[in-house]
Amino acid sequence: MLLAGLASCANPHTPLVRRMPPAPDEHVPPFATVPFELFSRADAVAIAQREWRLFGQPIDDDPPGSRPKEPPDQMPERVAGLWQRVGEYWWEGMDPGTREAAWTGIHDENGTLFDASRDGDFAWSAAFISYVMRIAGAGDRFPYAASHFTYIDAAVMGQSPVLRAYAINAYAPRVGDLVCTGREAAANIRFTDLPAPQFPSHCDIVVAATQAALTVIGGNVDDAVTEKHLPLAANGMLAGLDGKPLDTRYDWFVVLMVLYDR
C-alpha cells in the first residue's frame, strides 16, 4: 500500500529514473562524447597500447612490404574476434551516417563479405587513429576521417583546435603526437607540399620515446595493430642535418602535435 501511495504521488509524465540526454553521436559511449574526463595524452597512449596487446603485440621493424602476406584465413583483421574489433574502429571512429561506419575487417556497409584481395579498399589505419582520439575524449575537436590526409591538411590549415603540423626538422615529437609518412603515389610528398588534395598516407601515434628512438603504434600495419621503432637525431627529431628522415624504411614528412587537455 505504501508503494502504491508513493507511485500515485509521482507525476505520470516524469520518469522515476532520470537519464542523460542522448549524445549527438549515439554510437559513441557517453564517457567519450561528453566526455567524462579531460582529453588526455596518457589515455590516448594507453588506448593504443591496449589495442596493440589485443592483436598479440606484433612488432614490425622490417622494411615495408618485405614480409609476405598471411593467408586470408590467418590475416589478423579477418580472424574471428578481430574483424569485429576493426568494425568497432570504424563504428566509433567515423562520424554517423558515413558508409565507412558500417564496415568491419571483412564486410562492406551492406554486410557483404569482401575478398582479402580487396582489403586495400577498406584500409583502416586512419579509422584506428580516429578511434583512439575519440575514445580518449577529443570530442568534436578532432577531424575524424577514413583517410589520414584529412586531418593532416586540417592541422596545416589550422582547422582543428587540437592539431598543429610541423616539418620533421622543426619539431621533436612527444608521446601522444602523430607521425606521418606518404605512401604509394605520395611516397615523396614533402611538408612544403601541404595542404594537398587527397593523397595516400599513414600515421602512427607515439607511445614512448628515448634519446635514440620513438616507439609508435599504428593500425592496419601487417593487417593488425602493430608497433615499430623510429630512429631519432640527437635533437630528438626524425630528420638528420640534411632535413631528410633518418628512417630509411619510411619517408616521414610531417609531425602532428596533439594539444591534449592534460
**Average pLDDT score, the chain:** 91
Q: Which three cell numbers stand for residue 172?
A: 621533436
Taking the C-alpha atoms of residue 224 and residue 203, their distance in angstroms, rounded to an integer, is 14
pTM of the model: 0.90
pLDDT category, 7, cuts 50, 70, 90?
A: very low
Q: For residues 117 and 111, is the Cβ–Cβ distance under 8 A?
A: no
Burial label for 224, CB within 10 Å (0-12, 13-18, 19+), is buried
Q: Residue range 135-164: average pLDDT?
A: 97
User: Tens digits of per-residue pLDDT, 8-57?
Assistant: 333 333 333 333 444 456 789 999 999 999 999 999 999 999 999 999 99
Taking the C-alpha atoms of residue 120 and residue 260, their distance in angstroms, rounded to an integer, is 31
Helices (H), 73-212: 83-93, 125-135, 148-156
Greater model confidence, 2 or 170? 170
pLDDT of residue 12: 37
Which residue, among 228, 246, 227, has the nearest Cα to 237 in the 3D structure? 246
Q: Which three cell numbers stand for residue 144?
A: 575524424
